Structure 1
């Protein structure tokens, strides 16, 4: 990176916000996937004017620039560019909350605003509004996740679908606001389609511009809320459970349910039991079943939220029970039962008489609670606030499955802490038999490469499920890292053969992501060439 370029970059951002030391370059070149690129420098702009000037500077010097909101895209590429020596922009200093409108239920925020920050702001100001959050870090960006088409848990779980009205910096430094209306237009953040062509979608998973501000729709705090949990003790009824959830979601009774298999649940709570490998490279199924039994984990667990008036919640609970109770062990957790269970979890840990009392109390409770471990109850209860838009790090702990000794008590950062993780993220029709057969093929590919299969099923909308497969590996083991990358490549090839799509992919996979639709790729590249002829902004991102 040229000295003059760096000097002018410092003039824009300030010397303390342009990172060039070997230690900083090494830190920002870390990743959880077995692939690497080394950046040339890291800049942390403070406002849209600085972003615009940086892009113009990159154009002048022909320097590629890749932008990340807060830099937590773990499992896909973290903050790595496709090109060696690229400038990395991290927008975490752009963390202003410009507006919260309680009547119309939206906020206007910058990309550096985190899930935890906006949730805390709404509570501190007494707004009767909830965000929808992911089950990743509270430090994760709201806009960044939305632009990568992330999914949460509440009826507002389609994060990109709940953006409205963007401010975008183009490759020539021009600042554009979407919607075709003036910045003062009162419907700019509440009517998504604007007037004329709707261009907002061009900036999702995109290399066409840098989003520096957006409207975000918020959920009005419901009168009543309960979480439901269904444990599937036999994996055979998985297909009917998926079909039942589709039917319930199409009627608007549930939305964005999440289901996880026992192996993924184990990854959240224990370190990888390498002492049980018995000379092999993956755990026997019997070993996994025994570990799950010790924790009281069924083969599959699904969770979801029920929102509305008290009457609506009561009615919807009856409908959910009608569809799901015959397929597994179904329980509902409201505010009172959640508090009681939390007290029991805390009490069981106490020494002496108090601990014995709470252990006895636990045994007298519902069979579902009695037969699962206290640690598993605690993990399930950690989902309760997430379903209310209150993020925590409990599920993110799974990223440390093969690196538990490096897991801190808080402020988790899998890339910083040398965790090995690739996310394979296809999306399928919400047809139970199709997903069940698909999972059998995924397990076959994983086991042939000596990896266990962890799965998270995410109901992205009533008609589709994301089948998220986290591939855990030991970063200190070069052979295992190579084998993990090979597994991911084979999984991607399986998708291509069977014409399934990925909802998100790793940075090195982006070169291949649009190969099945060359006319679409050609069209997008023509748009790219028209507005970014020097291919400065994130060239090659998602195939463009």
Structure 2
């Protein structure tokens, strides 16, 4: 939260990773001119800037910069959908600023163009779309990097740069249409780059399909996880399941559903607080007894969806239990089971599960939710906090997320080893394997801990370090880095990072923009 101190805005960098830079100066920008003025001021005063969109980059450092003393540049006031009047099913592109949240765009499309949707993430409704995309976040339908083109950037020199055909001017019919432009594609430099401050970008919107269902596959035998992943990879390559399929372990399933199950049992079934945990455990064991369960979406015409489900069953039906759900089936199931909740334990467990699943089901259909964050707040005894205040809670959350090759056997070895490393520190590892591209997947792995316990914080941070060192020993790396690990992942002897530094002299010669973030913090030794 930002606060005023002697006329100067200050912002706490305390966050769920347990690593922060204390209170920092915070400047706010509400327009491109404001951003340019802040860059000019930073150059005059010899200050460094750390731009954040909404600052809700939980598990990666939130608004904490890699270098102490950096001024946080808050861009949440830049929250315009610039071409709102031009968006239509025939023109499915939104020009958004960094402060535009998932909630804002969803609400706008629901009211103004309900035939369109967008690629949402499972994080809070109040997270920035552009901020997540620029850090290469993964949505439910694919990598968000692929959703964005035509950037508008204020460089460290204070110059305004537009990439692709936006350089022709906003009135050009190509500005918001053709994603590649002419000549070198500079867009990529600003994804996990620190050469400038992105002030707007074009976001691809998606037509709502005639039919959309969620396909869940529960792996019956944990020893077949490698075969399971290979089957899902095949379905991805064939285009049968073209979005991202999420394969979560039981710890992840529990973390995602326990809050919703418990609230249903408490409110609808009158279960006493003293009995709630045990009752919720029994309900979850009834509906989700398997160690690994996948969730992905299938969309298209009714015939396409039917054919896709048949192919999923052909490839994986022998080793996994297949369940197909949509809003109508969930609603019908709840109408049937809810009245039986006090007569039949199986009905109660399944009604509770439906209550927990409903918000998650909407993600594949472009409906963002706070469910994941609400579960964390519930777990740490602060369900009354709004989701956007997670950094103010007692929840500790650290991500260690490797990119992995699309080879089931190799992935199983890495996941098993990571779980063993975590267990050595007394931690359970929460894992989701995301089938992201046709050639690779990413693991979203995290630790949870009590941030109010200094020993627990130190232990979790040591565990995270050991997990990263294990990954590096395998020739692997994380696909997104936390603020506290930037100095470790960036090697000044590596020609890649030395080249990345050399580009700073082109865009940001004074090293003003996010020094040390996905780049060297200072010039390498000659």
Are 2:135 and 1:158 equivalent residues in the alignment? no
Q: 1:457 to 1:518 in 2, by over 3 A?
A: same
Decide whether the 8 Å contact of 2:11 with 2:24 is kept in 1: no
Are 2:174 and 1:182 equivalent residues in the alignment? no
Decide whether the 8 Å contact of 2:359 with 2:369 is kept in 1: yes
Query: Which residue of structure 2 lines up, in the alignment, with residue 202 of structure 1?
Result: 189
Q: Structure 2 regions of 5+ residues with no counterpart?
A: 260-279, 521-526
Decide whether the 8 Å contact of 2:133 with 2:148 is kept in 1: yes
For the residue of structure 2 that corresponds to 1:397, the secondary structure is helix
Decide whether the 8 Å contact of 1:418 with 1:475 is kept in 2: yes
Q: 1:199 to 1:106 in 2, by over 3 A?
A: same
TM-score by length of 1: 0.86
Are 2:448 and 1:472 equivalent residues in the alignment? yes
Q: 1:127 to 1:160 in 2, by over 3 A?
A: same
Are 2:29 and 1:54 equivalent residues in the alignment? no
Number of matched pairs:
494
Query: Which residue of structure 1 lines up, in the alignment, with residue 53 of structure 2?
Result: 69
What is the CA–CA distance in structure 2 between the aligned matches of 1:133 and 1:259, rounded to whole Å?
A: 17
Decide whether the 8 Å contact of 1:512 with 1:543 is kept in 2: no
TM-superposition CA deviations, 1:495-544 (whole Å, max 9, x none)? 11111121101101111223297101011101112321221110000133
Structure 1 residue ranges, 4+ long, deviating more than 6 angstroms after superposition: 22-26, 288-291
- Once the two structures are overlaid, the 10-residue window that deviates more, 53-62 or 235-244, is 235-244
What is the CA–CA distance in structure 1 between the aligned matches of 2:128 and 2:26, rounded to whole Å?
A: 18
What is the CA–CA distance in structure 1 between the aligned matches of 2:2 and 2:457, rounded to whole Å?
A: 32
For the residue of structure 1 that corresponds to 2:209, the secondary structure is coil
For the residue of structure 2 that corresponds to 1:164, the secondary structure is strand
For the residue of structure 2 that corresponds to 1:387, the secondary structure is helix
What is the CA–CA distance in structure 2 between the aligned matches of 1:299 and 1:24, rounded to whole Å?
A: 51
For the residue of structure 2 that corresponds to 1:499, the secondary structure is coil
For the residue of structure 1 that corresponds to 2:402, the secondary structure is strand
Counterparts of 1:353-392 in structure 2, within 5 Å, are: 355-356=341-342, 359=344, 363=347, 373-392=350-369
Counterparts of 1:508-527 in structure 2, within 5 Å, are: 508-515=484-491, 518-527=494-503
TM-score by length of 2: 0.88
Q: 1:429 to 1:130 in 2, by over 3 A?
A: same
Counterparts of 1:80-479 in structure 2, within 5 Å, are: 80-99=64-83, 100-154=87-141, 157-179=142-164, 181-183=167-169, 184-254=171-241, 255-270=243-258, 293=285, 296-344=288-336, 347=338, 355-356=341-342, 359=344, 363=347, 373-400=350-377, 403=380, 405-408=381-384, 410-479=386-455
Q: 1:344 to 1:426 in 2, by over 3 A?
A: farther
Decide whether the 8 Å contact of 1:20 with 1:40 is kept in 2: no
What is the CA–CA distance in structure 2 between the aligned matches of 1:256 and 1:22, rounded to whole Å?
A: 48
> How many angstroms does 1:135 deviate by?
0.4
Give the superposed CA RMSD.
2.5
Decide whether the 8 Å contact of 1:342 with 1:381 is kept in 2: no
> How many angstroms does 1:341 deviate by?
2.9
For the residue of structure 1 that corresponds to 2:446, the secondary structure is strand
